[in-house]
Structure 1
Amino acid sequence: CVFEHVYFASPASEIFGQSVLIARERMGEQLAREAPADADLVMPMPDSGRSAANGFARISGVPYREGIVPNRYVGRTFIKPTQEQRRAAVRLKLNVVSEMVADKRVVVVDDSIVRGTTTREKMKQLREAGAAEIHLRISCPPIRHPCFFGVDFATRGQLIAHNRDIEQIRDFLGVDSLAFLSLEGLLSTMDRESASYCTACYSGDYRIDIEHPETGVVVGEGQGKMF
């Protein structure tokens, strides 16, 4: 599961012999090459966007700053069971430092967008804090397909990117520009051969036959894109 490298794993860990922290920095570096932005500062969406933001800043030459501060006592928000609980957790979890972002063109680097709950709320708070421009950069491709292998986005309706193009997602999130790391770019940061990784949530290629829980249709390698 390449999403382990992107989001779930501790940055201090190794997966398949590869440092997660270094992999995430590589993702940020590749993202800066693919989707640069004119900005005054680069900041991460804590905590899992930090390594990628460091990589983005290194390649882009834009100064790295931390303008969104996490509350350590609130857990990850996208795995909360209800939308209202996720919204409440977002309000408690992350705080914007207005002195850091006021009148600045900011690049915000996050590791992924699943439902968009956290991201939309934080972009709104950045606007309220006076950010002049917000350029959102995501260090993985859009998550357009459900995961049937244990990650908590098993239905299409939960995914902000399923029926939206990039411009529609940008408008929904309220940012000035939005870009995702390409799938090819993501896989180029991995140490193993590309075929070693499950990329079903990005590509719709599930590799094995599996019954779709919403439709009952059996999908397999190369067939997942039909839903």
Structure 2
Amino acid sequence: MKLLVVEDHQDLRALLQAHLERMGFAVDVAATGQQALHAIACSDFDAVILDLGLPDMDGMQVLACCERCRQRIPCIILTARDALESRLAGLNRGADDYVLKPFEVAELEARVRAVLRRAQGGSEPSLRLGNVVFETDSRHTTVAGKEVELLRREAMLLEEMLRVWPRTVVKERMEEHLYASRESVTLNAVEALISRLRRKLRDGGANVLIDTVRGVGYRMVLPASVHEAQQS
């Protein structure tokens, strides 16, 4: 999943980016309102973490942009404005949560995940297909009850594919959601990632497959025999 962090304080911005990327997110950052508006216009984000005290405009203008998007972007306000009126103004204008500075980064991460679950209709903390289970909070993957060690980007890919199953994940969407805008993506980066994930699932004994939809992207496939066994 891809986040946009809008924060003008350089050290805090870097801290949030580093932590959230370690926790399995692709993260773009913006230091000003104009940078944020440009990023929102150019990329799809699953959520925005927004500081209200920006140097060039009030963060509420960025919040309004998130609300106007064709597919509304969930927004967590991050600010030192602790007055009740400020909190109510943010929530009433569409913010999904309101985190006051100072804060614990782990708590902010938990709030982001809660907002994302609500945005996805209360999705379960565990994503399951066949004998593959992915825990969205801990980022752990198990196959037939045994843990399979995935690298950060491999876990992000598995989560994306399980979330949309049985639909196909378009290759361009994979690149958009797995890589931050500052990261260069080679022509075969996704193919190499798919290959590694396939191998690790196969070696772990997974009874699900990653199928290539030529010219479109990839999808998780549950063989008919496994699907029938689960339905019985």
The TM-score, its normalising length taken from structure 2, stands at: 0.30
Q: Flag the structure with higher helix content.
A: 2
The TM-score, its normalising length taken from structure 1, stands at: 0.30
Of structures 1 and 2, the larger Rg is shown by: 2
